[in-house]
Amino acid sequence: MTMVKNSLRFLKQCALGAAALTPLAANAADVPAWANDPACQTLTMAAAGGPTPKNPDLMVLRYAGSANFELAYGNTVLLFDAQYEREAYARPIGVKAEQLTKATAVYIGHGHGDHMSEGPQIANQSKAPLFGAALTTETAIKMGLPAAQAKTVKNGDVQKYPGFSVEAILAQHNSRTPEFVKIAGGAWQNLQKATGIGRPEGAPRPTRITGTSDVKVLTEGTYAFLMTFDNGYKFMMLDSSGPITEGERAVMKRIGKVDAASVAYQGYYVPARQIEGTLPLVELFKPDVFIPNHHDETAGSFPDMGTEPLFLAIREKMPAVRSISPLLRAPICINTKTKDIFVGDTWTFPKG
C-alpha cells in the first residue's frame, strides 16, 4: 500500500506542462477524485447509452477496434470511424453498431470499408451528421445515409461543439504498392490458413464491410481531425499513416504540438515496416500521450500488430512521450485542464 501511495503522489509531482499518467491503483479508493466520474467507471460507450462525463474538464476516449474511437465531452459524443462488424473468428469488440444510437456526430477519416462500413447506419440511428471527404460522403449516401446528414469537409473546415472544436486536415493514406499488397497480403492469408486462424472453409464473409475503393482516397479522401478545447488542450486523430502532407505541416507549424494523438499503426503487416509510416507522424504531432489505432486484427485483412516495437521506437526518439494501448472500450479519462490521465478497466471500477 505504501508503494501505491508513493506512486499516486508522483501524479502530483510531475513536471508542469507534461501529461501525467495515473499509475496503477490497487483498488477504487486509490483512483484520483476526478476519475471517479461515472464515465470513467464503465466499459459501456456513451453512444451505446453509457454515462457522459460530468466533470467539465473531462474528456473520455475509448478505443473500439479497427480505427474506431469514441470521444465524450460533456453531452457531446463523437465517433471516429465505424467498422464494428468482425469476422467470426476475430475478437468481438463488445458492442455492435445497432447499439450505437446516441452519437452527436460521426467522423470518417477515409472511406475504405474497414473505416466506414457502418458509419451511415450509426448516423441514421443517431440522427447525426456524418463528416468526411467528398468521396466518403458520396459513398455514405449510396449506402443509405440521407443526403442532409452527409457533411463534406475540406482542409481547414472547423465544426464547433460546446467547449471544443474539430478541424479537418487533409492527410494521406499509406502508400503501399499493389505489388507489396499482393505479396505481403497473400503471405498473411497463407499464414492464417497454415495456423488455422482464418475463416473456416465455406464460412460466409461479413456482409457490411463496404465502402469505396476509389484510388483517390489515397490523396484526396483521407483526413485527420484536430480537437481543440476552449482551455487549450489539443487531441489529434488520424486513421492512416501515409506521407506527411502540406496541410498537416501547416497546422503543426501554427500550433506547435498536441497534448494527445492517435495515429494508425496498420497496413504493412509487420512492426518494422509499419513504424516507418507511423513514427514520422508522431514526431510531427509531438504529443505528450500517444495512443495507437487500427492495430488489431481487422476483418481478416490485417494481423494484430505488436505495439511494443512502436512504443520503444517512440521512446528512443521522444523519451518524454507516454505511449499507452488500453483494452477495447476501456475509458481513457483525460483531465484537459491538468492534463492528467486515468485509464480505467474492470479492476479499477467500484466493487459491489
Interhelix angle 246-255/271-285, nearest 10 degrees: 40
Stretch 145-173: mean pLDDT: 98
The answer on pLDDT for 17 being more than 70 is no
Distance CA 302, CA 294 (A): 9
pLDDT confidence bin for 192, thresholds 50/70/90: confident
Least confident of 1-15, 221-235, 246-260: 1-15
Residues 153 and 223 sit within 8 Å (Cβ to Cβ): yes
> With DSSP H G I counted as helix, E B as strand and the rest as coil, what are the percentages for the chain, rounded to 5?
30, 20, 50
pLDDT one-digit tens code per residue, 259-291:
999 999 999 999 999 999 999 999 999 999 999
Q: What is the pLDDT of residue 23?
A: 45
Measured distance CA(273)–CA(266) in Å, rounded = 10
Encode 291-306: b = buried (16+ Cβ within 10 Å), e = exposed.
bbbbbbbbbbbbbebe
Measure Cα distances from 247 to 130, 155, 157, 172, 299 in Å: 22, 7, 12, 10, 31
Does the pLDDT value for residue 12 go beyond 90? no
Residue 82: predicted pLDDT:
97
Cβ proximity of 225 and 169 under 8 Å: yes
The yes-or-no verdict on residue 99 having pLDDT over 90 is yes
| pLDDT of amino acid 59 | 98
Mean pLDDT on 133-141: 98
**Hey, what's the cell of 100?**
450505437
- Whether the pLDDT of residue 10 is over 50: the answer is no
Contact 108, 116 (CB under 8 A): yes
pLDDT higher at 185 or 229: 229
Q: Which amino acid, 125?
A: Q
Higher-scoring residue by pLDDT: 330, 195: 330
| Whole-Å CA distances, 264 to 108, 143, 220 | 13, 25, 18
Kindly give, in sequence order, each residue whose CB lies less than 8 Å from that of residue 348, ignoring residues fewer than 6 positions away: 25, 27, 28, 31, 41
Model confidence at 1, pLDDT cuts 50, 70, 90, reads very low
Higher-scoring residue by pLDDT: 203, 321:
321
Cα 68 from Cα 241, distance rounded (Å): 15
pLDDT of residue 32: 81
For residue 22, name the pLDDT band (cuts at 50, 70, 90): low
3-state secondary structure of 115: helix
Q: Is the pLDDT of residue 299 over 80?
A: no
**Rg of the Cα atoms in the chain:** 20
Residues of the chain above pLDDT 90, percent: 76
Farthest-apart Cα atoms in the chain, separation? 60
| pLDDT, averaged across the chain | 89
Domains of the chain: 18-348 (3.60.15.10)
Chain center to CA of 290: 11
Of 45-49, 73-77, 199-203, the range with the lowest mean pLDDT is 199-203
- Mutual orientation of helices 119-126 and 134-142 as an angle, nearest 10°? 70
Q: Supply φ then ψ for residue 53, to 5 degrees.
A: -65, 140
Q: Which three cell numbers stand for residue 345?
A: 478497466
- With contact defined as beta carbons under 8 Å apart, do 52 and 78 qualify? no
Is the pTM higher than 0.85? The answer reads yes
pLDDT band of residue 212 (cuts 50, 70, 90) is very high
Instruction: Spell out the long-range contacts of 46-54 with Cβ–Cβ below 8 A and sequence spacing 24 or more.
Output: 46/70, 46/72, 46/77, 46/102, 47/77, 47/79, 47/99, 47/100, 47/101, 47/102, 47/103, 47/122, 47/126, 48/95, 48/99, 48/100, 48/101, 48/102, 49/99, 49/101, 49/102, 52/76, 52/77, 53/333
| 89 vs 239, more confident | 239
Q: Are 241 and 267 in contact (CB under 8 A)?
A: yes
Burial of 2 (0-12, 13-18, 19+ CB in 10 A): exposed
